[in-house]
Every structure is written in C-alpha cells, then in structure tokens.
Structure 1
Amino acid sequence: MALARQRAGRDGVVRLRPLVAGSWRRAFRAGVDPGQAVPVVRHDDHEAGSRFESLLLARHMDVVAPLAEAARAGSGRLLVIAAADGEIVLMRGGTAARRRGDRIGMAPGALWTENSVGTNAIGTAISQRCPVRIDGAEHFVRTHHEWTCVAAPITDPDSGELLGVIDLSGPVREFGPDAAALVGAVGKLIESRITAERRTADARLLADLFARPGAARRVAAVLSPSGRLVWGRRDQQPAGEHEHYQGYTVITTGSGSSTEAAPVRLRLLGPGQPELSMAGRVTGLTQRRADLLALIARAPDGMSADALAEALYGDRGNPGTVRAEVHRARRLLGTALAGDPYRFTVPVSSDAGDVEALLHGGDVGGAVRAYTGWLLPRSDALTIELLRLELHESVRAGALAVGGAALREYCLGEPGETDHHAWARYAEQCPSGSAERAVAVAHLSGLCRAVG
C-alpha cells in the first residue's frame, strides 16, 4: 500500500516513492505550507463552467461516463476536470462529497497545481505528463491526508500540447487498485477520439482540396493546423509557395510541375459494386481488384506479390496473377500505386476504415451509422472473409454493449436485419406497449419463422 510505503521505517526515515519525493521537493521550493495551503481561486462557478465549455475535452464527456458513475451521489468520490493550467473547470459528485471538497478548496475555479497546493494528482499529472495516483499522506498538505486522488493528463495527439486533466478524488477507503488504470484508460480513449476526429477532417479536407482543378499537379504537401504532415513526401521538406485552406497549410510547387496524385477513396461496404474515387472521378471496381486494393490499403508499408497472392488465393495463389492485376489497377491509379512492395503513395481511405477508426475512438454510434453493409460481401478471398467477420463482430459487440440508439440503428441496418440476438436485446430495451417494441417483436417472430 502507498500509505505503508511512505511511513517512517524503523530508522525513523520517511520513505516516499520517487515520483512523490520529487513532487514534495517542488512544493517545498515553491513555498507551499504543508500545514494549511489554500488554493488560488481564479474564477467563480459560472466563469469556470464557461471555460470548460471552450475546452476540446468538453466534446468528449460521453467517454467519461464510467468515471461519472464512480462519482455518483452517495459514493463520496468527485469527478474533476481541470484545464491545462490546473484550474478546476468542472466537478461532479454528491452533495456530501462536494462539501468535503469545499473544506480543502477543491471547487470550480480553484488552481490545483503543485505550486498552489503541493503534491496532488492533478498538479503532479500536469508536471509529469503521466497518470498519477496520490494516496493519503503522500499529499504534501496534511489536510489532504484523508483523500486519494487519481488523475490522467489529456494531450493533443498532434502537437503534444496539454489539453487538460481528468481526476477522480475521494476518501482513501473508496479506491481499489484498478482506479488508476480506469482513469488512464479513459484519458487514452479521449485522445483516440480526438485522433479519429482529426483523421476524418483530414480526409474531407484532402477530398475538397484535390477536387480543385490542377491541384493534383500543384500540391506538394499539406500540413494540419498544428503542423502535422497530412499529405506529401515524408523524406524531404517541400519548398514552394504557402497558402491556407480551411485552416490547413498547403505547400505548392508554384510551377505546376508536380506529378503527385490525388488521394484515393475506396467504397467497400454494402451490396453494390465497389468503387474507387480519385480527383473527383468515381470508377467501379471488379471484385478481385477491389480485394487487392482493400488489402494494400491496410498495409502502409506495402505487400509483396507473394503475400498478396497468398492472402487472395491461398495455397493456389500465383504472384504472376497479382502482378497482372496490379498492372491493370495502375491504369486507374497511375503513380498513386507503387511496386516492390505494392503500396499507395498517396493518402488512402475507405468507408470500412472509417468504421474501424470510429470504433477505435470509442464512437460506437458513429461506427454503426457508418457501417452501411458487409465488407465486400461477394468476395470469397479468405483474408477478406476474415476481415469481413472481424469488422462485423466489432460493430455488433459495440452496439450490444452500449444499447440505445446504436443498437436500434444496428438492427435496422442491412448487416443486423437477421441478427436474432440483437433484435431480442433491442425488443427488451423498447418501452412496454410502444410501437417500437411491437415492430421489434414482429420482426423477431419473422426471424423465428424463417429458421423454422
């Protein structure tokens, strides 16, 4: 236990974890009074709330639901959101817990940095940029010794800039060994959601940009608002004219001599013919060509002809057949498809990839809406069949786990229309006597009749 580790040993020396000892030294140098430190209060509740609404984190509070549940009324715990400078901008918890927080100055508008109130999970997470748990007397200030606090910093995936901190605080007795893992996981999930949002915005930007006449010849590189390379050569810094487009920086050759191709978009979901979109042109794909491009799109480092032949045809695969198919695909893609190994040289996205990104970011509802059909349903390639099943089971598991609108949309979509278990769960969640429930029960009856 942390409390036991930090108590004085037989030699009378107090032993602290290195992370805590370093924090104590910083608090001591800052002149924090361990007897009674009072945090600086910058704003009132209303002003702090307004500041919270302006934070990027505010868009992802649904991810914090497990922590909000942990801070429900009567638990004694508080859910705290702090801005990057350590100011508390949001607090959730029961009346008794908030009253206990008030006694130590833990309230919206208060500054909970190490320089303000010594060692605490919020301040130390900001200082060290890592998830932190501070137990009882590990706090520098003695009036905090009845508290355990667990916090995780949220950083911008592009710039590394600190966006804020999420924290769970309460009585020592109410925190099990998994508290730090839970808070840290929520923090990482928020960062993943932000990354997924950025990649979606990138894809839209590139589609708009390269739809402009001549863009494919002139654009050398595209940088995000934070300076991340969105598109272009990674092995050299492109030189040329700079222009701003929808908040992004577009670096052009200025001479119109660039031969870079436009980004590629693949439509792989649903019963219709697979399609390739590039530079505003949409082209239907044969089944084998769609299979081939779908696999190459999933391999940023490329795939050899041998690997593609095995993935597409199994033991009977012939690399020569793959090379011939790639040759035909290059008539559509030009320099966007390179060989040895086969790989895309431009950004490539797909509707199936969108679903995976949304699931990875924790947006199950968005993933269900984007999941418009089975992945390449007519393909009999073993690897594609496995990917199809994996994607479907991931969406299905997410919909069943969260229920609500996500489960309804899954059931009503083409992939879920024959899913007996999902429809049964959907019927259970519908209000008794509602039209929704009647429809669900009728559909279930039809499924039962269909299977005899």
Structure 2
Amino acid sequence: MANPPMNVAQLAAADPAQAARLLSEVREATLAGRRARIAPRPVIEQSWARMLRGGVDPNHGFRLEPLSPDEVRGRREGSPLAPVLPVLREGLLSVADVAHHIMVVADADGRVLWREGSTSVLRKADGLGFELGADWREDVVGTNGVGTAAAVGRPVQVFAAEHFVRAHASWTCAGAPITDPRDGRLLGVVDVSGPLETMHPATLAWVDSVAKLAEARLREQHHGSLERLRAVAAPVLARLDERALVVDGNGWTAAVTGVPYTRRITLPKSLAAGRRWMPGLGACSVEPLAGGWLVRAADEQPAAATRMVLDLARPYRWSMTVSAGAASWSRELSLRHAELLYLLAVHRTGRSAANLAEDVFGDPSRTVTVRAELSRMRRYLGALLCHRPYRFCEDAEVEVLLPEQIRDLLPHSTAPAVTAARER
C-alpha cells in the first residue's frame, strides 16, 4: 500500500526546516527509484515524472538565454496581462514586500515579464536565474510555481525540495494561471516567491484569488469594448439588408443582422479589407470599423476546404489549420479539443458520442459533456465537422503532426485512448 502524501502547508507552517528536510528525503528517494516513507503530493510526483521523461537534469537544470531588454519591452507592450498589472500589484505587492516575497508575472510562454517586491529577495532570485526575460517553463527549469502552474492549468505551490532542480530547494513559490475569461486560453502566470522560511499555508489561496480578480477585470474590459463597438455597429447594420456581422479584432461578435448569432468567428491571422473566405460564413466582404470589422456574407459558397492540419507536435501549443485554395486560417486548441480532434483524425469513419465519452473519460455515459464540446468545435469548424457519427467531412484531407516521441503526445491528457496511444 502506498504511503500517504504529506500535508506540506501544515508541516511547513509549523516547522519549515523540518518540512524541507523531509521533502529532500522524499525527493532523493523518488529520483533514485526507491519508495519514500512519505509520498510526494500527486501534482509534484506527476511533475517529477514529466521531468524525468523529458531529460531535465536535477543537478543543474537547464537555462536558456533570457530575452533582451528590448524583447522584454516588446512583449510587455503586447501582453494581454498589461491592463491588469495594477490589479496584481494592488492585491499582492504590499503584502509580498513585507513577507519578503517577490511578485513575478510570466507570459504564456513562461517568459518573466515583470518582477517586483523585496529588494533582497530579488537579488536571491537573480542567483537562481529567476530574472527578467528568463524562461521558466517546466520542461526548461523543472518543477516550479510558474511552469508547473501553466502545465497543469491550476494554482500550484512548490515548496523547497519539491522543486526538481536541487539549486532551487531553498526557494518556495506559489503560482496561479491567468486565463482569458472569453475562451479559457492561457495568458500567463502570476507567482509569489521567496526563501523557504517565508512560506505560509494561505499563500496559494491568496495568489489564486488575485489571479481571479485579474480575470474578472479582463472580462469587464471585454464587455465594455464590445458595448462600445455595438454602439458603432448599430447605425451601420441598420442601413444594410444583407447578411452581416460586426466583430472585434479577435473575432468576438458585437452585433449581427440576417445571420444566426455566433459568439465568435475565426479571423485570418493577417486580416485586411477586401474579399475574404471566413470559416463558417464562406465568401465575405470585410471592411474596417472603429474597434473592429464589418463582415458582409456573400451569397455564393466557397469550394470545400481541402486540407486540415492538426498540429500536436509542440508541447502545450496545439492548433488546427484549415486551407481552402489560397485561403487559410488557424486556431489554437484547448487540451480537450485537441484530444477530440486527434480521436476523430484516428477514426476517420466516425465515433458516436458514447464512443468519444469512453475514449476521453472512460465512461460512455458522459455524452452530454462530449456533445457540448463538439458543439463548441463546430462554431469554428462548421461543415468540416459532421455528426451521426461525429467525423471530419469526407472531402477534407486531414494531416496530424505528432511529437517526435509518441510518449509526449498531449502530455497532460488523462484520456484513456490518448494514454493507450502514448504507450504503444
């Protein structure tokens, strides 16, 4: 029978030094392939297993060159987290500084874009390579509050020797992902870090609550921008007696006329005024509006899409690209959509909702969840995704790009069908 995992927060609050020693014993035993007397927490054990599979060196780790100051500045200017930086500072900085912590904000690629807080702790962070522009993805520097929180998609606290790289064992960190409230896409991670003796059991909940405040602010800003665009769109659409919609720069719909309301449409990466083929709409005339685009649908339909590329080769950055003649568009995918599209690509003749529920959840009764996800996918794939059974349309050529090692396929997926594919 496996030993139960230790309650790290409780033990560390009572005696940080003892907790650090116990965690060091657990880590050394686990890395040596021995059974530890106290099991690591599941989130940490799973992260360590990923590090071992990925070849991260626990003795030295691996550091990429940090971004240049100009690159950091450019990423800051384009970061969707820049507008909520005041929320993060207000919620975290005053307490962090007093508690000898620093606040770190990284983008979706794990690059550190902002660092603020205790001056002495900032100097210690420099010694760990935890500097502006540094790459703190899990598969680069091992288990940590930034990279692991991004990898698992939920708040994570990493205490002392729970860090995979030995040099980080004097450090403690609590990170929470910040996602786009519109579609769940990862925008970055906010992290509070410091020396191990400064750890507090409430730190993780505190960081997570501030991350959720930032997401709420992003949601408010999005609603406000759509309201402003809707006001611009109203008189324009009132003069039209054709099918049209007005969307913002990311494809979110502000207003429609003559077409069913769709929450979002997929826009080409480089959209310009003129004649364009739009997923789900066909041939369209596109015109700029203040804060968005006027999209007018033409009557004729385009030729069927000829090629679909499901890219699962890059860790945690999965996408679907559809090409139809000279037109093409791409969309980044969530883990669940990547799983379902992979299964449909494997089973070109189709899968029922019960089949897919068994494939993804190991439970054929979870058809409601599967149908809901496929309904969301049809919003951007349109007629390319057929049903009864669910499948790609017969005219589409479907290519799947896989990782070099099949064991790296959708690494955080627990879907039985994906797990089986990784073990082949």
TM normalised by structure 1 equals: 0.51
Matched with 1:69 is 94
C-alpha distance 25-239 of structure 1, shift in aligned 2 (>3 A): same
Moved more, 3-12 or 109-118: 3-12
How far is the alpha carbon of 1:174 from its aligned partner? 1.9
**Distance of aligned partners of 1:38 and 1:45 in 2 relative to their CA distance in 1, 3 Å threshold:** farther
Give, as a single letter, the amino acid of the residue that structure 2 aligns with 1:204. Answer: R
Please identify, of 21-30 and 40-49, the stretch whose mean Cα deviation from structure 2 is larger: 40-49
The structural deviation recorded for 1:165 is: 1.3
What letter matches 1:243 in structure 2? V
Deviation at 1:172, TM superposition (A): 2.5
CA distance in 1, matches of 2:70, 2:249: 31
Alignment deviations for residues 229-264 of structure 1 (CA, whole Å, 9 cap, x no partner): 443434896677342433544444668xxxxxxxxx
Q: By how many angstroms is 1:177 displaced?
A: 2.0
Q: What is the DSSP-based 3-state SS (H/G/I as helix, E as strand, rest coil) of the residue aligned with 1:105?
A: coil
Aligned residues: 254
Any idea what the Cα deviations from partners look like across 1:193-239, whole Å, max 9, x if unmatched? 12211111111112111213744643543344333344343489667
1:202/1:45 Cα in 2 relative to 1: closer, same or farther (>3 Å)?
same
In structure 1, what is the Cα distance between the partners aligned to 2:116 and 2:48?
28
Assess if the C-alpha contact under 8 Å between 2:138 and 2:148 holds in 1.
Answer: yes
Say yes or no: does 1:25 pair with 2:49: yes
Residue aligning to 1:212: 236
More strand by share: 2
Alignment partner of 1:63: what SS? helix
Which residue of 2 is the match for residue 131 of structure 1? Answer: 155
Question: Which residue does the alignment assign to 1:91?
Answer: 115
Instruction: Please give the alpha-carbon distance, in whole angstroms, between the structure 2 residues aligned to 1:88 and 1:115.
Output: 15
More helix by share: 1
Whole-Å separation in 1 of the counterparts to 2:120 and 2:262: 58
Please say if 1:245 is aligned against 2:288: yes
Report the Cα distance in structure 2 between the residues aligned to 1:205 and 1:133, rounded to whole angstroms. Answer: 40
Counterparts of 1:184 and 1:53 in 2: how far apart (Å)? 24
1:96 match: secondary structure:
helix
Summarize the Cα distance change of 1:214–1:40 in structure 2 as closer, same or farther, 3 Å threshold. same
How has the CA–CA distance of structure 1 residues 177 and 217 changed in structure 2, closer, same or farther, with 3 Å as cutoff?
Answer: farther
What amino acid maps onto 1:85 in structure 2? D
Where does residue 150 of structure 1 map in the other structure?
Answer: 174
* Cα deviation 1:90-143 (Å, max 9, x = unaligned): 111222111211121111121111111100010011111211111111110112
- Relative to structure 2, which stretch is displaced further, 231-240 or 175-184? 231-240
Asked if residue 190 in structure 1 is aligned to residue 214 in structure 2, the reply is yes
* Aligned twin of 1:120: 144
- Alpha-carbon contact 2:65-2:134 (below 8 Å) kept: yes
Who is 2:384 aligned against?
none
Q: 2:104 aligns with which of 68, 74, 80?
A: 80
1:181 maps to 205
1:163 equivalent in structure 2: 187
What SS is found at the alignment partner of 1:218? Answer: coil
Structure 2: any 5+ residue segments left out of the alignment?
1-6, 13-18, 264-279, 300-424
Alpha-carbon RMSD across the aligned residues, in angstroms, is 2.9
Q: Secondary structure at the match of 2:146?
A: helix
Which has the larger Rg?
Answer: 1
Distance 1:86 1:54 in 2: 15
Instruction: Output the CA distance in 1 between the equivalents of 2:69 and 2:99.
Output: 23
CA distance in 2, matches of 1:201, 1:12: 54
TM-score, normalising length from structure 2?
0.54
User: How high is the sequence identity, in percent, across the aligned residues?
Assistant: 33
Deviations 1:351-396 (A, max 9, x none): xxxxxxxxxxxxxxxxxxxxxxxxxxxxxxxxxxxxxxxxxxxxxx
Whole-Å separation in 2 of the counterparts to 1:235 and 1:227: 10
